[in-house]
Structure 1
Amino acid sequence: MATSPNADPGAGGGLHEVFRRQAAATPSRIAVEYGEESLTYQELDRRSDRLASHLADGGSGPGEVIGLSFPRGIDMVVAVLGILKAGAAYLPIDADHPARRVAHIVEHSGVRRIVADPGLAGAFDRPGLTVTAYTSDAFDSEVSPGWAPVPVPPGAPAYVIYTSGTTGAPHGVVVGHGNVDRLFRETEVWFGFSADDVWTLFHSIAFDFSVWELWGALRYGGKVVVVPAATARTPERFFDLVADKGVTVLSQTPTAFRAFDAVDARRGADLALRHVVLGGEALDKESAAAWLARRGDTRPRLVNMYGITETTVHVTYRPLTAELLAASEHSPIGVPIPDLTVHLRDESGRPVPHGEVGEIHVSGPGVAAGYLHDAELTAARFTRSDSGEVTYRTGDLGVTADGVEYFYVGRADTQIKLHGYRIDPREAETIADAEPDLSGSVVLKVSPPSSEPHLVLFSLCRNGATPERRQRVLARIRESLPAYACPAQCVLLAEHPRNHHGKVDHDALREIYLAQPRSPRPDLADGHAETVRAIWEQVLGRPVTSSRTDFFEGGGTSLDLIRIMQETQKQLSVEVDLGAFADGLSLDVYVDHVGAQCAARNRS
């Protein structure tokens, strides 16, 4: 497996070695917290030592990639450190992803061992794969005599994260220890990281924003609060957590931040935040401007950072102000991190003049080692200069007026950025085209004026464009792709609209979708049901074709849910209890909950 080509020789060894030095310096400080459980730096160090020693006894070591699959919690953090201390790189596998997606990652990566929560271990029962079911109780013995954490050079792989790419299949990005360590050394002058900081681990461990959240805390002796999955999906609960835990550094995608901002606008609680870092997708200027109008631009400082997995989380830095947002046509992403260089180039690789849009190319110690087991794609996207420096072609478009401050414009290829994820629409399109009587599938991001952006599938149907057929193809896609990559709706057509070049007219497809009439109201005995469905469709900006579909899997967002709750309160005078949806949320579940609330009110 390749090492990072631009690794910084001045880096302090492996991430686990940096952590171990911090644990020795601040052994009694709280390192990680989840719910009511917490571990000090010393306790986290010892637990991860025990797991690492066990892995080493089983033959694991440098050059190996070890899978990792856990629900959110402290054991997940222990497993990350234990794998690194064994000298291996960790490969996070999201347990919420469909079985086919998980199988592809396991097979393509060639992992021979997976460390997993006992409840998830059965999903990896296959020949040639060793599964270590980890719990702290099962690994409470002392480490093997003579064992010590394995030292690694800065260029050694630390993790492999699979992300959608330009090939129609996910591929694994290999990132080195030194890449991550220099990210913090180069940005600490801007952020002033310290042991007093409290970070949230809000994002999935399989999303590289988690690398920033986890090591921003552990590298400096701070505390990382692992956010429970239900809390991460419920803006009111998450806002309470940020306030109650005294969080000082918060990282959010712009989509998630819109929901956080909406709660803050209503609640206005005292927050300990020093920095709010936005990244993962284009800036939402509306929510950023609203936040700045209430909170100002100094404490907390609202920062927009551009970056992608192949460049180790972040590339640029830009504190936001109301004046900047008002003057910016595009998403302001600011200046490169000091040890990185950004160039804008045309399709032939030539620099573009200031003021013209070009593809963003990034070089420097943050560039990843390449793609796991894919030398051809690595050679195409990671180019090496005569001096040996490697530059990554991002596929993103940017513009600069002065060669100093940069702005994000969009994608140069078919990839879609939504909710912080890069999505290759061809994955869903390929699955749809494999269905009988369907062809010519196109997946687009649609942004209704009164609701959140979501994916819509447009397919040509030879016969029988029925609701059942639409639901069947969407269900087929959900069997193979993670929820964030699945279309929320499907439109079946006899033919695609074409532009004057004869190509499929994407704008016309969006217009067809947005012009669709709302679904007919069901004639239900419960008087509230019709109103509730109308609220859902009003907020979502589309018909609810199945009352049993999970709200989030169907494309709903946390901000959508907030708006639905507000409208429910306004129209039906019902206070919705989010705790009622801990086991899942669909229109049927929501209608039942509202009905129970109405009945209770009428009895009182």
Structure 2
Amino acid sequence: MDDEFRLRWLEMVRLYPTKEALRDENHRVSYEALHHRANRYANALIERNFNQQCIPVLLEDPIEHIAALFGILLSGNYYHSVRLSSVDDLHQLVDSLDCPCLISNSPLVISNDSVLPTLVPKRLQADEPDSISYPPILPENPFCLFTTSGSTGPPKQVVHSHRSVLVDTFRQITDNEIDSADRIDLLFSLEFSASLACIFPALLSGATLVFHDLKKAGVLTLPTFWQEQGVTFSSLSVSTFRMLLKTDTDFKKVTGLRFLSIGAEPVRPADISGFQERFSANTVLQVAYATTETRTISEHKIRTDTAVSEQLFSVGKPVDGRAVSIRSETGALLPPNQVGEIFVQARFIPATYPNNAEASQRTYQLQPNGIVQYATGDLGFLDADGYLFWCGRTDFVVKINGQKVSLIQLEQELKNEPGVKNAAVIYDTFHADRSLLKTYLCTEPGFDLLILKQSLAQRLPVVMLPDRYYLLDVLPLTKTGKVDRMRLASHPVTASPITDNSVENDESSSDLVPLIKTIWQKELGLDTVLSDYDDFFQDLGGDSLTAESCLAELENRIGKTVPIHAAFSYTTPKALAYYMTGYHQHRVQCIPLNQPAAHRKTVYFIPPLPGDRRMYRWIENHLNQQCNLYYVHFEPYTMTGELIPFPDLIRQIAQAIGNPAESVLIGFSFGGLIAYQVALSLEQMQQPALNRIVLLDTPLYRRITFRESLRKDAHRIKRKVFADLQTGQKVNWSASWQRAVARYRKRLKPQSEQPVAGSKATTWQDSCTVAVNQYARKINVQTPVSCPILLFRASDSSAFQYEIRPDFRWQPYTTAGFEEHRLEANHDQVLNSTNSHIIGTVVHELVQSGS
């Protein structure tokens, strides 16, 4: 039916105008209010004559993001959701599809010579137009675009039509009996196709969609979230579900949760038995098998009293509209209980990858009756009763924490490392504690595992780093000369896996270091000897879920609460112990990130906000072998909640810097200003000048004066009047007036109205932001320092336009050398992987040359 999405949505708005449609931690939006927001986007796109074009959306606010998606769909276009962390790949999509614009809060540099036109939400017309002439939408029109993970090559684009999405959506609503009384959570990123199973079944049935940020709040908050928000329907990954089962939560008290869907990874018998033992009889567990290309293929609904059988551990039977067959390498149909490649036959699913004709020909086949046959690349079998069992991947690609990892690619990376003669990788899903990525190496004399790990960490994502390393004289081979992975999987490992060069605790090490190692070994299932500087993620194969589990166990053992960001910022036993023993007593800590060595320069990373060091990860990996690395953690408030005077804080940091002449300070944004102030303080303390200051997109904080603001606003009014008279472009004077009032109200807001540290109304990050804003008002850069300054600045400085003048003229403020590099990015993109590599390379060369 034409316009089916629009008609269904308008019907929901008519039936439930005041009912809660969306909810996050702080906001609620009704169906009518969401429709008004969506129409603002729809009208803006229709006015620009965009039709059936791909509109990328990069909005961190999930409610605004959903409003933009609905506006795009109502306007006859289709959407592609983007996260800030994956924006590096956006230019490929823009180039291949000729996207007409981006919906984002700020302009975005897409490539070296182009900026994608941007629709900024706050600049859209505030009032909904009286009437919108919606374009007709046919069932075959595109609805959304997702990309595959790209683990075996460039990411492939998957475009779903309106019919494809709506058929699957209405099937879910019917099969799972979803209605307006349900409250459905969204725990996935909107960038993932799994979000389709939450957004549209909720909002096209009159239910409420509730957002919960697992990365920010932590997996362990889920049961409380379910209870407080009255969630009835939840979808989560198998990894998250296993993490919950490790806790002592009494899930039988979560009686309101009637439906729990898990997927993205193979389910083990222990997962099913854990559900049946731990959850209420009111809850149904759905095990689902789906792909980006087809959406749901099969599912299996399990109750706490479902009888145990082999079929209980399958991925269920194909859903309505999907047929499954198992085929051999030659394409022949296989009988029940024989393993082969899983093929899916269905109508209306995508039949091609728009950006990869070769992969389309290999994967899709359009049959004469209109049915699309899709080769999944997964191995499995059907039993005699039609239950599907998943057995792995045909191309040695496995899913780890929802992300695809190519074992062949990892093997090639290992073989390219010095000292490695041969390598094989298997994914052990039968380990007692968790699935493990195991690496078997044939090496040459003098092989150093630590160097190999550091090299891999610089190039590969954390999910691809092996969990275990084993040393063999030769790899077992099949009769045809290929690595025999079955024999490897059953290989008896009598000796311990290869260990790092273990480092004994030095005298200053805390007693917490051995405790942290013990907990990590238990939670990760390790039988190796850990060193003080083994990285939880890069060296030991940990992930975000086990990191939270380790932190929870550590809190139980010491009887203290630790901020959750510590698990991700301080990722070695030594660093975590330093932080935990000092953050209650010391306002400033220099936390070691690697094993210090004599005769190496020292690099101190200073953050713009205290606490989270992950922004510097790529630069750290580049300098890890050449420099002693420290992270400067500072607390802006005293133990009683009073703001520490900025000169006192700077003096404390300066006193913590050892051997300034051999030290480099690296600071991003406000962290760069701290680096400058520390250098000045060291000289005032008659210490030797620093070796160098590295400023990452750090402008001089010259705040725009009241007179300048008036002048800028007068210029804007003049420009808008001219546009109105000359081009007939109507100006929304009401919205412009509201924005101007908001700016001046913020400028004139009394200091006492700012939130204070420790206030329950603010988060930990909010109180730190308040401190930085207050510090920034008192900074006045006037005195030059006696050390060189190396400045990296973004090509786009529009992020500062309303707060400060983006003044990067640092050269007068050093009496030594000054060097400047420009990076193609805006302020929020400066520390992406590409730019961090550039920064790390330049700093490494300067450190090595001693210049």
- Superposition TM-score, scaled by structure 1 size: 0.84
Q: Which amino acid in 2 is paired with 1:474?
A: A
Tell me, in whole angstroms, the C-alpha distance in 1 between the residues paired with 2:22 and 2:220. 22
Tell me, in whole angstroms, the C-alpha distance in 2 between the residues paired with 1:576 and 1:146. 54
Tell me, in whole angstroms, the C-alpha distance in 2 between the residues paired with 1:514 and 1:197. 52
Contact 1:343 1:351 in 2 (8 A): yes
Match of 1:504 in 2: 483
Q: Does 1:520 align with 2:509?
A: no
Match of 1:189 in 2: 174
Tell me, in whole angstroms, the C-alpha distance in 1 between the residues paired with 2:39 and 2:575. 45
Q: Does 1:283 align with 2:259?
A: no
Where structure 1 has 5 or more consecutive residues not aligned to the other structure, the ranges are 1-9
CA deviation after TM superposition for structure 1 residue 517, in Å: 4.0
Tell me, in whole angstroms, the C-alpha distance in 1 between the residues paired with 2:465 and 2:127. 49
Contact 1:23 1:45 in 2 (8 A): yes
Match of 1:415 in 2: 397
- Secondary structure of the structure 2 residue equivalent to 1:22: helix
Q: Does 1:97 align with 2:86?
A: yes
Match of 1:344 in 2: 326
Contact 1:251 1:277 in 2 (8 A): yes
Match of 1:7 in 2: none
Where structure 2 has 5 or more consecutive residues not aligned to the other structure, the ranges are 587-851
Match of 1:88 in 2: 77
Contact 1:168 1:426 in 2 (8 A): no
CA offsets 1:128-158 (integer angstroms, 9 cap, x no match):
45242533x3324235676334332122211
Distance 1:19 1:435, change over 3 A: farther
Q: Does 1:361 align with 2:343?
A: yes
CA deviation after TM superposition for structure 1 residue 246, in Å: 0.7
CA offsets 1:440-488 (integer angstroms, 9 cap, x no match):
665543458354325456677777535134212222123xxxx54x325
CA deviation after TM superposition for structure 1 residue 261, in Å: 2.8
Corresponding residue to 2:186 among 186, 189, 201: 201
The correspondence of residues 558-577 of structure 1 with structure 2, limited to 5 A, is: 558-565=544-551, 567-569=553-555, 572-577=557-562
- Secondary structure of the structure 2 residue equivalent to 1:370: coil
Distance 1:142 1:569, change over 3 A: closer
The correspondence of residues 303-314 of structure 1 with structure 2, limited to 5 A, is: 303-312=286-295, 314=296
Contact 1:70 1:117 in 2 (8 A): yes
Q: Which amino acid in 1 is paired with 2:73?
A: L
Contact 1:72 1:226 in 2 (8 A): no
Identity percentage of aligned residues: 19
Contact 2:547 2:568 in 1 (8 A): no
Distance 1:529 1:104, change over 3 A: farther
Tell me, in whole angstroms, the C-alpha distance in 1 between the residues paired with 2:259 and 2:348. 22
Distance 1:131 1:46, change over 3 A: same
The correspondence of residues 85-484 of structure 1 with structure 2, limited to 5 A, is: 85-97=74-86, 99=88, 101-108=89-96, 110-118=98-106, 121-124=107-110, 126-132=112-118, 134-135=120-121, 137-143=122-128, 147-164=132-149, 167-231=152-216, 234-263=218-247, 265=249, 269-296=253-280, 298-312=281-295, 314-321=296-303, 326-328=308-310, 331-365=313-347, 367-426=349-408, 443-447=425-429, 449-455=431-437, 465-478=448-461, 484=463
Indicate the larger mover: 345-354 or 559-568: 559-568
CA deviation after TM superposition for structure 1 residue 242, in Å: 1.6
Q: Which amino acid in 2 is paired with 1:498?
A: P
- Secondary structure of the structure 2 residue equivalent to 1:44: helix
Tell me, in whole angstroms, the C-alpha distance in 1 between the residues paired with 2:307 and 2:403. 23
Q: Report which of the two structures shows the higher radius of gyration computed on alpha carbons.
A: 2
Q: Which amino acid in 2 is paired with 1:504?
A: V
Indicate the larger mover: 277-286 or 107-116: 107-116
Match of 2:566 in 1: 581
Contact 2:259 2:286 in 1 (8 A): yes
Match of 2:769 in 1: none
CA offsets 1:261-292 (integer angstroms, 9 cap, x no match):
33364575434111001111211321321221
CA offsets 1:322-348 (integer angstroms, 9 cap, x no match):
676842278412222122212222222
CA offsets 1:33-71 (integer angstroms, 9 cap, x no match):
121112111111111211222233334221x22222233
The answer to which structure, 1 or 2, has the higher relative contact order (CA under 8 A, 6+ apart) is 1
Tell me, in whole angstroms, the C-alpha distance in 1 between the residues paired with 2:93 and 2:514. 43
Match of 2:656 in 1: none
Q: Which amino acid in 1 is paired with 2:15?
A: A
Contact 1:443 1:456 in 2 (8 A): yes
Tell me, in whole angstroms, the C-alpha distance in 2 between the residues paired with 1:40 and 1:593. 44
Q: Which amino acid in 2 is paired with 1:564?
A: C
CA offsets 1:355-388 (integer angstroms, 9 cap, x no match):
2223221112362232122222112211122323
Distance 1:500 1:284, change over 3 A: closer
CA deviation after TM superposition for structure 1 residue 537, in Å: 2.9
- Secondary structure of the structure 1 residue equivalent to 2:140: coil
CA deviation after TM superposition for structure 1 residue 125, in Å: 5.8
Indicate the larger mover: 459-468 or 25-34: 459-468
Contact 2:51 2:76 in 1 (8 A): yes
Distance 1:548 1:145, change over 3 A: farther
Distance 1:284 1:351, change over 3 A: same
- Secondary structure of the structure 1 residue equivalent to 2:70: helix
Contact 2:142 2:159 in 1 (8 A): yes
- Secondary structure of the structure 1 residue equivalent to 2:190: coil
CA deviation after TM superposition for structure 1 residue 308, in Å: 0.8
Tell me, in whole angstroms, the C-alpha distance in 2 between the residues paired with 1:223 and 1:569. 35
Tell me, in whole angstroms, the C-alpha distance in 1 between the residues paired with 2:486 and 2:250. 36
Q: Which amino acid in 1 is paired with 2:342?
A: I
Distance 1:384 1:448, change over 3 A: closer
Q: Which amino acid in 1 is paired with 2:212?
A: V
Contact 1:166 1:424 in 2 (8 A): yes
